[in-house]
Structure 1
Amino acid sequence: MKVLGINAFHGDASAVLLKDGAFHAGIEEERLNRIKHWAGFPARAIETVLAMGRVTLEDVEHVAVSRDPKAHLLEKALFAFKHRPGLDAIQSRLKNHRRVGGLEELLAANVGHGPPFRGAIHNVEHHRAHLASAFYCSPFEEAACLTIDGFGDFLSSMSAVGRGTRLEILDDVMFPHSLGIFYTAVTQFLGFPKYGDEYKVMGLASYGRPSFLPRMREIVRLRENGLFETD
């Protein structure tokens, strides 16, 4: 079985090819188009992993994309009703959802010139994709699993227990609370203007002292259940 995994319209767009459940090839689009943290459709990355696997799009039985526009719709609607985001923000999110939902057309228009893809497309909730990529590639039969990032499908963190071929979701942290966005805000406050420089601040942190720790604890608060919330 051949499975094509895609991260599209999200930071560090990429593609990976699995053959019979084993990793075969993977690459980020930025390595090919030379644009850091490319967040569009990874057409070149897809063509590259297919070429490395000596297969065509017609040979692929399943495509999985690490976004699910239908995830957490109720929570999204309640947040929008309460906070009334601007028209530009709403149009931007709807455009992004349409692009992720139109994956079959994007594959046909951007990848190869042979027969079209005729397999199944699976939208995988963003943080479940993170959990799966870590646990299923590990040597463990059972493990505690945790994801923390900026945001994906309205979540910034998810915890689970992995057993065998299953993931039992324990809890999650929803928008607008995010350690990843907080880290990005600190990074930009320090003078790094763009997304993607967080690793520089992480390296610099080892040379500093926790002078602002009390203030930081006012911004990021631990809850009784072990999760967090941000101010």
Structure 2
Amino acid sequence: MYVLGINAYHGDASACLLHDGQLLAAAEEERFLRIKHWAGFPNESIRYCLQVAGITLEQVEHIAINRDPKANFWRKVLYTLKKRPELRLVVDRLKNAKQWQGIETALQQTFPEQNIHAKIHYIEHHLSHLASAFFVSGYNDAVLVSVDGFGDFASAAWGLGEGTNIAIDGKVYFPHSLGMFYQAMTQYLGFPNYGDEYKVMGLAPYGEPRYLKELRQLVQCQADGRFKLDLTYFRHATEKVEYEWLNCSPKVGTLYTPALEELLGKARQSSEPLSQQHKDLARSTQAIYEEVLFHLLNNLHTRYQRDKLCLAGGCAMNSVANGKIYQQTPFKKMGSAKEAVICYNH
């Protein structure tokens, strides 16, 4: 049985192909188009995967998409009714959902000479992340954690993986997001491009954590392990932040409000030299990120009493924090992934 996994209309668009549970090929669209973090429909990645396997799209029996527009539907409705976000934000979300539901049309346009027989499965975003880490880990059981910006109205999810089953029993929902905190601070420090967070990680060792008190105002740990943003400092909860995700390198509008500059001072422009203050803010940002992440992980270890951890999602790319997990938590073994394999067990 051939299963095609697709990550589309988001940064790092990609595809993978499995046969009877074995990974045959995987590729990101940026490798073919030479555009970093390219977002859109991964035409060339799909072609490559099929070519490696020596098959056509007609032979694929199942297609897994790492988004489910129906996930957390009533939470979306309740949030809209309660918070009354800008109409432009609501319209943008509806357009995005419609785009995902048009995957079959995109495939037909890419392969017009072929008939599509595959059943299409829309898999909730964080379930896809968790699967990408657990099913390639070699573990029979593990605590599973996914943390990123947002996907399907959630920014984090956790639970247990046992055998071929994944049970999610906790989430952090929109608008609270550890990934959003880090991305907003990355922008504030004058690194505006999608994926620039690694520059903050690289800058952090040159500074001192002098701004912990201030940054704890932005994101707070909760007693149950969750985290919460002070939305005074963030635009995304009620305003439409400009995003470009279609056939381009992703572009993200300013995520923070003027309140952040009132708290920390004027934001750095990308052309300005880096001062010691910027280095100290980078160190403080990394320290707060680690504080919140380890708070969650320690809470989950206490809850589940398992020593293996699988970490996924965009925040799992923070290798500096990952390298401290054995020292800062009781976990004894760990595996991580971003979006390598998408829920082939479905």
Counterpart for residue 108 of structure 1: 108
C-alpha offsets along residues 172-207 of structure 1, whole Å, 9 cap, x if unaligned? Answer: 000000010110000000001122101111122123
RMSD, matched Cα = 1.2
The number of equivalent residue pairs is 230
Q: Which moved more, 1:92-101 or 1:66-75?
A: 92-101
Amino acid at match of 2:156: S
Counterpart for residue 33 of structure 1: 33
Counterpart for residue 49 of structure 1: 49
Amino acid at match of 2:4: L
Distance 1:36 1:81 in 2: 38
Q: Establish whether residue 192 from structure 1 lines up as the match of residue 191 from structure 2.
A: yes
Distance 1:22 1:206 in 2: 40
TM-score by length of 1: 0.96
Q: Establish whether residue 94 from structure 1 lines up as the match of residue 94 from structure 2.
A: yes
Amino acid at match of 1:152: G
Distance 2:153 2:224 in 1: 20
Distance 2:159 2:98 in 1: 29
Counterpart for residue 66 of structure 2: 66
% identical equivalent positions: 51
Q: Establish whether residue 152 from structure 1 lines up as the match of residue 169 from structure 2.
A: no
C-alpha offsets along residues 45-96 of structure 1, whole Å, 9 cap, x if unaligned? Answer: 1111111111110010100000000001111111111222223222221111
Distance 1:160 1:7 in 2: 23
Structure 2 unaligned segments of length 5 or more: list them. 231-346
Distance 2:121 2:33 in 1: 26
Distance 1:84 1:69 in 2: 20
Paired residue secondary structure (2:206): coil
Distance 1:205 1:53 in 2: 44
Q: Which moved more, 1:23-32 or 1:124-133?
A: 23-32
Amino acid at match of 1:119: A
Shift of residue 113, structure 1, vs aligned partner:
4.2
Distance 2:127 2:55 in 1: 27
Counterpart for residue 127 of structure 2: 128
Paired residue secondary structure (1:15): strand
Paired residue secondary structure (1:218): coil
Distance 1:86 1:177 in 2: 18
Distance 1:187 1:95 in 2: 27
C-alpha offsets along residues 77-135 of structure 1, whole Å, 9 cap, x if unaligned? Answer: 1111122222322222111111111211110112x343221110000000000001100
Amino acid at match of 1:54: G
Counterpart for residue 215 of structure 1: 214
> Which residues of 2 match residues 156-171 of structure 1 at below 5 A?
156-171=155-170
More strand by share: 1
Counterpart for residue 174 of structure 1: 173
Shift of residue 219, structure 1, vs aligned partner:
1.6
Paired residue secondary structure (2:91): helix
Bigger-Rg structure (1/2) = 2
Which protein has greater RCO, CA pairs closer than 8 Å, 6+ apart? 2
Distance 1:170 1:88 in 2: 32
Distance 1:164 1:177 in 2: 31
C-alpha offsets along residues 26-54 of structure 1, whole Å, 9 cap, x if unaligned? Answer: 11111111222222111111111111111
Q: Which moved more, 1:120-129 or 1:217-226?
A: 217-226
Counterpart for residue 85 of structure 2: 85
Distance 2:95 2:114 in 1: 28
Amino acid at match of 2:48: T
Distance 1:41 1:65 in 2: 11
Q: Which moved more, 1:26-35 or 1:131-140?
A: 26-35
C-alpha offsets along residues 117-167 of structure 1, whole Å, 9 cap, x if unaligned? Answer: 111000000000000110011110000110110000000000111000111
Paired residue secondary structure (1:177): coil
